[in-house]
Structure formats: C-alpha cells, structure tokens
Structure 1
Amino acid sequence: MENVQEYKIEKGPRETLAMDPKKFILWLFLVSIIMLFASQTSAYLVRRAEGNWLEFEMPKIFWYSTAVLLISSLAMQWAYFSAKKDQFKQLKIAISITFVLGLIFLWMQFEGWKQLVAMNVYFVGNPSGSFFYVFTGLHGFHIISGLIVLLLALASAFRLKVHAKNLRRIQICATYWHFLDILWLYLFVFLLTFN
C-alpha cells in the first residue's frame, strides 16, 4: 500500500478592511453626533406638534454666521490641498484663516443669542426658544472642539508633521470641520423651515 500523505493547503491570511484607527474613531464620533441631533430634531417636531409654540423670526446674524462658516470650509479645503502639495506657508495661513472664521462664527452665534433675548425669546420659557438655544449651543460646543482640532493641526503644520506623505492629521481635521459645516446647514435649514 502506498503511503499517501495528506497535504493541508493553507490559505494566506484573510484580507481585512484596513482603516486607520484614528479615522475610525472620528467616524464613530460623527455618527454619535448625528444620532444626538437626529433625536433632538425629532423631539423638536413632536413638541411643536403639541401646540403652545412661540414663532419668531431668526435674527439675520444667523444668516451671516452661516456664510462665515461656509467660507471657513473653503479655507479648510485650501489647507488640505496645500498640505497635499507641500505648500507649508499656505497650509499655515489656511488653517489660521479657518480658525479665525470659526471664532467669528461663535461670536456671531453669541450675538444672535443676545438678539433673541432682545426679542423676548429666552432659554427658559416657551419650548421653541429652548430648542433654538439647545441646537445652537450644542453646535457651538462642537465648533469649540473643532477649533481645538484646528489648533492641533496648526501646531503639527508648524512642526512640519503635515505634508504630502503624512496627511492623516489634516484629513481628520478637514473631515471634522466640513462635517460641522454640514451639520450647521442642516440645523439652519431645519430651524428656518420648522420655526
């Protein structure tokens, strides 16, 4: 009888989806923010349908702050393109412009709150005002976190750690900033439509 040897054919390791862990954490964070605002806007619609709802005109400064945030998104994209081309001076300028425009946006939101108070729309009182302050306040908090991310990216740019072969920091920064802009556009249109 012939000695037959069994050969076990081993396959190579299975391919896994390779994703940068920091980018994965960012996307999980973004999904959690989406869920937070989805629940809040749903609660808004349910409460509004119950009645006793104060309708008020959104102060114009919120329109202007929206434009500021959109311009900041363009500056952020300029920063990303500059990093891809190793244009370090433009990269630093673009991140700095984005940061300053983010600060201006926050200031304008605060001024908008002051105008709401002048219109007798308060955080405590009618739910329509409360929701407005909660939406803009939560978004403002996330803008502050975005400004921190921008500062970290700017510090990395000054240390020349952001360049064409190392784009992770600027990609994370740009993704988060653009997300905050899109989130604001959603809230802005939502509040205009359902106020």
Structure 2
Amino acid sequence: MPRLIEPPPTPPKDLGGGGEGGERFLLPTGLVGLLVLLGVVTSLFAALLSAYLVRMGFPDWQSLPKPPLLFLNTLLLGLASWALEGASRRAQLGWALGEGWAYSGLGLGFAFILGQLGAWQLLLSLGYAPAESPAGAFFYLATGLHGLHLLGGTVALGVALGRREPVLLRFTALYWHYLFGVWLVLLTLLLWS
C-alpha cells in the first residue's frame, strides 16, 4: 500500500524570521521591529546620558533652574502612557472600546510636547539659551530628542487609529511606555545635576 505524504504545516502569517531546518521566531515581525527600534533609541540616549555625566565634571558646569512645568509635563506623559495602555487593552475586546482612550492619550501626548515647549520658553526668557552653557545645550538636546521621538510616536498612533488595528495600537502603547521611562531617567538626571 502506498504511503501518503502530508504537506508541511503552513506557518502563521504574522510570524517572522526563519532559519535553517525550518526554525521560526516566535515573535510577531512588528514586535521584533519595535524591539530593534528601542535598542537603537536606547543606544542614542545612553550615549547622550554618558556624555552628560562626563561633561558635568568640568569646572564650568552650572546647573539650570528646574521649571515646575517639568513636573506637570511628567504627569501629562504618564497619563498619556496610561491612557494608551487602557486603549490597547480595550481595543482587544473591540475597537470602539479603546478608540476614545487612544485619542485621550494622543491629546495628553500633545499637551506634554506643548508643555515642553513652554519650559523651553521659560528658560529662554530667563537667559538660558542653548549656546550659553553646556548644561543648557544638553538640556535642549536631550529634551528635544525626546520630543522628536514622541512626535514619531504620535505618527505611529495616528497610523494605528487610521487602520483601526489593535496590534498596532499595542505596539504604539509599548513605545509610549518606553518614552515615559526615558523621560523619567532624563528628568532624574536633570534634577540631580
């Protein structure tokens, strides 16, 4: 009696990678991409923070005043991250359940960015321009880079909202949680100096 040969199983569509012998990654391709992005961003901010710590040791270092607005901005970004977590969890049950939360997170994120611009304006009005001191240059560079990454997160959130895909919303929420963590590290360092 002839033996029937079964075709190999078809891998799920959203798994990526592969290797010799049919090995497969067990992570969605989008998550792998996000993790690579976070690795690159971590390297960027780690290099910046390392340079900041070294530069603080020079005799001409003079700390900047810490505008209280930075604490309000921290609260806004924390609430944005929390809202996006709520959006992500609710969208898994049905897109309409999470959509309002996602828009709230987006609005809070924009409020954080506007608040950061307000903190910059306050420091500039007090005479602390980027070229005036090394501490000022690092402050504007670090907070500016963080703001640019957050703007990138708002673009990703806009894409997730436009496509109405819960998995994209999940990845975007993870990115915003990461940026909130980066902000807490930056703020701690700014307060410590």
1:43 lines up with 2:51 in the alignment: yes
Aligned to 1:30: 38
- Give the Cα–Cα distance (whole angstroms) in 1 for the partners of residues 128 and 140 of structure 2: 9
Deviation at 1:65, TM superposition (A): 0.3
Aligned to 1:20: 28
Aligned to 1:69: 77
DSSP 3-state at the match of 2:65:
coil
Aligned to 1:121: 128
Work out which structure has the larger RCO, using CA pairs closer than 8 Å and 6 or more positions apart in sequence: 1
Structure 1 spans left out of the alignment, 5+ residues: 1-12
* Contact 2:31/2:171, CA 8 A, preserved across alignment: yes
Question: Any idea what the Cα deviations from partners look like across 1:171-195, whole Å, max 9, x if unmatched?
Answer: 211111111111111111111112x
Aligned to 2:190: 191
Give the number of aligned pairs. 174
**Aligned pair partner of 2:108 in 101, 106, 109:** 101
- Give the Cα–Cα distance (whole angstroms) in 2 for the partners of residues 144 and 25 of structure 1: 18
Aligned to 1:150: 157
- Give the Cα–Cα distance (whole angstroms) in 2 for the partners of residues 190 and 146 of structure 1: 23
TM-score normalised per structure 1: 0.85
- RMSD (Å), alpha carbons: 1.5
Deviation at 1:73, TM superposition (A): 0.9
Question: Any idea what the Cα deviations from partners look like across 1:56-103, whole Å, max 9, x if unmatched?
Answer: 2210111100000001111001101111211x3331101100111111
- Give the Cα–Cα distance (whole angstroms) in 1 for the partners of residues 189 and 57 of structure 2: 15
Aligned to 1:7: none
Structure 2 spans left out of the alignment, 5+ residues: 1-20
Q: Which of 1 and 2 has greater Rg?
A: 1
DSSP 3-state at the match of 2:61:
coil
Counterpart residue identity of residue 73, structure 1: S
Structure 1 stretches of 4+ with a deviation exceeding 3 A read 13-16
TM-score normalised per structure 2: 0.85
